[in-house]
A and B are shown apart, each in its own frame.
Chain A
């Protein structure tokens, strides 16, 4: 019984202590003119899908959940959001070259069709961000259409 108490105390102390370790949580920025939705290139259902299933990591308009404010979950989120924005940032879409856009669209199609995106760990706490087979199909069709427009 005593050992249990000691272990619990250590866990609590550790949890408190790690809160003081600084993390590099990316911050949000004002909605940019370069944003793919704000600039009117994507509207309706497709805009809704991007907002709901992609924007938390792939834009500068992240909706930070309560557990993003505490370690150790904040570390995981800081990492995922930083990498997400680095690889694809819908808030900077218009600043990408045509070539980069086509590259990103192809990657979106591959990642979403293979079920690698949205990240399964993200879906654990974001059930409504899970893409239905119809939404995956719609996204895939959307990437094709966008690419065709750019190639024209």
Chain B
């Protein structure tokens, strides 16, 4: 009787180990997914998300860029979109002047521009290895 209980206990814990094992390997896979670094995410949320997300009012803005759909892009489309973003950051054309006039708090500061640009460049480069 004792042996049976012991075997069952051992089997149970061995089983638990296997479950943990699969969970852990899934966690590892998840890290390969596209994630915005916190510093980048904070800037996007404050300065871009008002228009370039589901809550945006301008269809034009939503058609050009939706931050939430970027992570699901295939590599080629992702690189192309990052290149668009870099171009816009270099031109300084976003957020648009008239919108900044209305909402001065969304003005993109030089430091923030640099953070977004470095991130976009590094992300695009990592896809073209």
User: Considering the complex, which residues of chain B in the window 85-129 have a beta carbon less than 8 Å from any beta carbon of chain A?
Assistant: 86-87, 121, 124-125, 127-128
Q: Is the CB of A100 closer than 8 A to any CB of chain B?
A: yes
Q: How far is the CA of A99 from the CA of B124 in the complex (A)?
A: 7
B128 touches A99 (CB 8 A): yes
User: Considering the complex, which residues of chain A in the window 100-152 have a beta carbon less than 8 Å from any beta carbon of chain B?
Assistant: 100, 102-103, 105-107, 144, 147-148, 150-151
CB neighbours (8 Å) of B127 from chain A are 151
A103 touches B128 (CB 8 A): no
B75 touches A151 (CB 8 A): yes
Count of interface residues, chain A, beta-carbon cutoff 8 Å:
13
| Dominant SS among interface residues on chain A | helix
A-to-B contact residues, CB < 8 Å? 98-100, 102-103, 105-107, 144, 147-148, 150-151
Q: List 15 extra interface pairs beyond A106-B81, A151-B128, CB under 8 A.
A: A98-B128, A99-B82, A99-B83, A99-B86, A99-B124, A99-B125, A100-B83, A102-B79, A103-B80, A105-B80, A106-B76, A107-B80, A144-B76, A151-B75, A151-B79
18 contacts between A and B (CB under 8 A): A98-B128, A99-B82, A99-B86, A99-B121, A99-B124, A99-B128, A100-B83, A102-B80, A102-B83, A103-B80, A103-B83, A103-B84, A105-B76, A105-B80, A106-B80, A106-B81, A151-B76, A151-B79
